[in-house]
Chains A and B, each alone.
Chain A
Amino acid sequence: MASSGQAEVFAPWEDPNEVPLIKIAGVTKRFGDFTAIDNVSIDIYRQEFFALLGPSGCGKTTLMRMLAGFETPSEGLISIDGQDMGAVPPNQRAVNMMFQSYALFPHLSVWDNIAFGLRRDGLSKDKVAARVEEMLKLVQLGQFARRKPHQISGGQRQRVALARSLAKAPKLLLLDEPLGALDKKLRQETQFELMDIQEKTGTTFVIVTHDQEEAMTVASRVAVMDHGQLIQVATPEVIYEQPNSVYVADFIGDVNLIEGAVGAIGDGAELLWAEGRAALMGQPGADLSKGSKATFAIRPEKIAISAEEPMDRRNRVQGKILDIGYLGNLSTYHVELPEGPVVKCEVGNRSRIERRDFTWEDEVWLSWSDTAGLVLPG
């Protein structure tokens, strides 16, 4: 891939010649008359760290289980490395899964848990031992090799599960909410560890999570799902800066949503939001038609707050401070507009005395640039 000397950005999905490792094409999964996965198509490339993100019950686990071979699609095709997976049982796929519950074998030691898959391949004793030791080293669990799963901590069990699923060097590793059971601090450490291991082993990872921060931290691309449907697939930056729908904008990070109708569309898009007020100016986030219902989405950190009216900006609204939150590194202001909406704005505290001049009930101006906000359909 990378031919020139300069550091190339990892973005195989932008290269039309790149062949995806996994093709999910028009896959639907029904349980009885309930549709858990609704016509989903995704291409996942080699060495990607791909995140499936969505609220609980949206079908993330079901999609993973179809990749692992525990469920068969009701419609559509899944192929891995060019091979149609339709008739391939789970034990013959070069795919391993780290289960949400870890599913460590309670009657086997850490060592034997990791060796389980290797032994199924009929590897010689020496090879099994060498690989297990390598895995133990990778997850730093050497001194716990002889313990049973119930004799180690939750974080250690999580690492055993990871080592076990990586031991066979699968083409694809599926991680179903791997960090769900860990506390916040351990979670963050482990996220970086996971990224490190992914890079070292060069394995393609698909991770399921309902935690948007986690998805943004670890993933090369994120797929946002809702009710079995795929809403958007993009890099974390694009998901954050260019969400294609109100659902995605609202799901990822903090956002102010102002409802209205689409006005003129030209260089940007206008949103008519209140009688007798100037239209808000933003970038169109998806196909828009004039006059249709739309929502203006603007992130709190993109809004400036001032006492005087900022005449140089088209997007400016006046309101009253309802609430102030001081978070140390930044302050948040909740400003109530006379037209109804409450807009949240976030300001970094760069100097120790900055912005101390605003207080509750103050009349202030909020403003943002023409390109800071998005006009989204719906």
Chain B
Amino acid sequence: MNRLSTFNIVSLTLGFAFLYIPMLILVIYSFNESKLVTVWAGFSTKWYGELLQNEAMIDAAWVTVKVAFLSSSLATILGTMAAYVMVRRGRFFGRTLFSGMIYAPLVMPEVITGLSLLLLFIAIGLDRGVLTIVLAHTTFAMCYVSVVVSSRLISFDDSLEEAALDLGATQWEAFRLVTLPIIAPAVISGWLLAFTLSLDDLVIASFTSGPSATTLPIKIFSSVRLGVSPEINALSTIIIAIVTVGVLTASIISKRQITRRLQEEAAA
């Protein structure tokens, strides 16, 4: 139908191949019978079984999920508060500086963030473990949350909260009963984003983790240096599945939110 369609198909295929073939190979080899990663010896799920026996791996996975859950929840609270203050409380002294400082970590190289946090933890004598990773991940994820939430708050009608106050609500009630339910989809996307960022992170976690707590990315990275095992492939496949589900959920939520907002705006 279109003169460019062949060209389009080729470029689409190339693009997607470039992005997804490596992952596809990984997924396929996770079902390989052979111990040798590069030789196909028939279909098997035995590596998934072995993975479940690998306590170090299971521990690391558990730490990762715990860290991701705690840090994303904390980052969501702090990031939402920061966004709220910046967008809703108008101009206050030092606002520009404050907002600049909130967003700076977005462009800061991770190595620097990790290093500075490490120095801080050593300086205050905090033993490295789950707590330090949680704090570190909260620090860098909250900027992302506050970006997501403030972009929603910018289009939020100020008078809604004033109406709540006018009807006798306290500031906190106005936020909890009016603002929060309306911006909830953005807050949830922010949380999911923070969760994924924490799951993914290798650099900052390596700086801030200690012998007592290792996250999955660190575990994978260090075991891969000793050679790729099919177990790692199996593990990676599981992670890919989880991340895919997370991303899909987030995009469905934000799409629904946009549709609903359009409806409501058409009404307003």
A103 and B167 form a contact (CB under 8 A): no
* Interface hit among B2-10, B156-164, B196-204: B156-164
Please name all residues of chain B whose beta carbon is closer than 8 Å to the beta carbon of A89 when the two chains form the complex: 165
A150 touches B167 (CB 8 A): no
User: Which residues of the other chain, A, contact B267 by a CB distance below 8 angstroms?
Assistant: 106, 149-151, 157
Name which residue of chain B comes closest to A89, CB basis.
Answer: B165
**A168/B157 contact (C-beta < 8 A), A149-B267, A150-B266 known:** no
Give the size range of B's interface with the partner. Answer: 20 to 34
Cross-chain contact A116 with B157 (CB below 8 angstroms)? no
Residues of chain B contacted by A99 (CB below 8 angstroms): 159, 162-163
Asked if A91 and B170 make an inter-chain contact with CB atoms under 8 angstroms apart, the answer reads yes
A105 within 8 A of B: yes
| A103 and B165 form a contact (CB under 8 A) | no
Q: Does B15 touch A at the CB level, under 8 Å? A: no
Nearest neighbor of A161 in chain B, beta-carbon distance: B163
List which A119-154 residues lie within 8 A (CB) of chain B: 120-121, 149-151
A-chain residues with CB within 8 Å of residue B50 when the two chains form the complex = none
B264 on the interface (CB 8 Å rule)?
Answer: yes
Q: Which chain A residues (35-59) contact chain B, with CB distance < 8 Å?
A: none
At the interface, yes or no: A101 with Cβ under 8 Å from chain B? yes
A117 within 8 A of B: yes
B166 within 8 Å of A (CB atoms): yes
Of the residues A97, A121, A150, contact of B168 by C-beta under 8 Å: A121
Contacts A107-B181, A150-B263, A157-B267: A90 and B159 contacting too (C-beta < 8 A)? no
User: Nearest A residue to B180 by beta-carbon distance?
Assistant: A107
Q: Is the CB–CB distance between A90 and B160 below 8 Å?
A: no
Residue of A nearest to B184 (CB): A107
Q: How far is the CB of B146 from chain A (nearest CB, A)?
A: 22
Interface residues of A in 311-363 (CB under 8 A from B): none
A117 lies within 8 A of B168 (CB): yes
Q: Is the CB of B163 within 8 A of A91?
A: no
- List residues of B (170-221) whose CB comes within 8 Å of A's CBs: 170, 173, 177-178, 181-182
A191 to chain B, nearest CB (A): 23
A101 to B167, CA, bound (A): 16
CB-CB contacts below 8 Å: A91-116 with B = 91-92, 95-97, 99-107, 116
- Please tell me if the beta carbons of B268 and A164 are within 8 angstroms of each other in the complex: no
Q: Does A164 lie within 8 Å of B159, measured CB to CB? A: no
Question: A68 an interface residue at 8 Å Cβ cutoff?
Answer: yes
Taking the complex as formed, is A192 at the interface, i.e. its CB lies under 8 A from any CB of chain B?
no
Q: CB within 8 A of B173: which of A101, A120, A157, A168?
A: A120
List the B side residues contacting A97 at CB < 8 Å: 163, 166
A90 contacts B268, CB within 8 Å? no
Residues B264 and A120 in contact, CB atoms below 8 Å apart: no
Contacts of A107 in B (CB 8 A): 181-182
Chain B residue numbers with a CB within 8 Å of A157 are: 267
Nearest chain B residue, comparing its CB with the CB of A112? B177
Instruction: Report chain B residues within 8 Å CB of A10.
Output: none
Is B169 part of the contact surface with A, judged by Cβ < 8 Å? yes
List residues of chain A with CB within 8 A of the CB of B165.
Answer: 70, 89-91
Contact in complex: B167, A96 (CB < 8 Å): yes
Closest to A101 in B: B159
- Which of A100, A120, A149 is in CB contact (< 8 Å) with B169? A120
* Residue among A68, A92, A101, A106 with most chain B CB within 10 A: A106
Q: Which residues of A contact B160 (CB under 8 A)?
A: 103, 105-106
**Complex contacts, A164 vs chain B, CB 8 Å:** 167
Complex CA gap A104/B166 in Å reads 12
Give, as a whole number of angstroms, the nearest-CB distance from A164 to chain B: 7
Q: Which of B167, B169, B264, B266 has the most CB of A within 10 A?
A: B167
CA distance A150 to B182 in the complex (A): 14
Q: Which residues of B contact A68 (CB under 8 A)?
A: 166
The 0/1 profile, CB within 8 Å of A marked 1, for residues 227-268 of chain B is: 000000000000000000000000000000000000110111
Query: Which of A97, A103, A104 has the most B CB atoms < 10 Å from its CB?
Result: A103
Q: A117–B167 contact, CB under 8 A? A: yes
Compute how far the CA of A165 lies from the CA of B166 in the bound complex, rounded to whole angstroms: 9
CA A164 to CA B173, docked complex, whole Å: 17
**16 A–B pairs (Cβ distance < 8 Å), ordered by A:** A70-B162, A70-B165, A91-B168, A97-B163, A99-B159, A100-B159, A103-B157, A104-B163, A106-B267, A116-B164, A116-B167, A116-B177, A117-B167, A120-B173, A150-B264, A165-B166
User: Which residues of B are interface residues toward A (Cβ below 8 A)?
Assistant: 157, 159-160, 162-170, 173, 177-178, 181-182, 263-264, 266-268
Q: Which residues of A approach B to under 8 Å, CB–CB?
A: 68, 70, 89-92, 95-97, 99-107, 116-117, 120-121, 149-151, 157, 164-165, 168
Q: A91-B170, A99-B163, A105-B182 are in contact. List 13 more A-B contacts (CB 8 A).
A: A70-B165, A91-B168, A96-B166, A97-B166, A99-B159, A105-B163, A107-B181, A117-B168, A120-B169, A150-B263, A150-B266, A164-B167, A168-B168
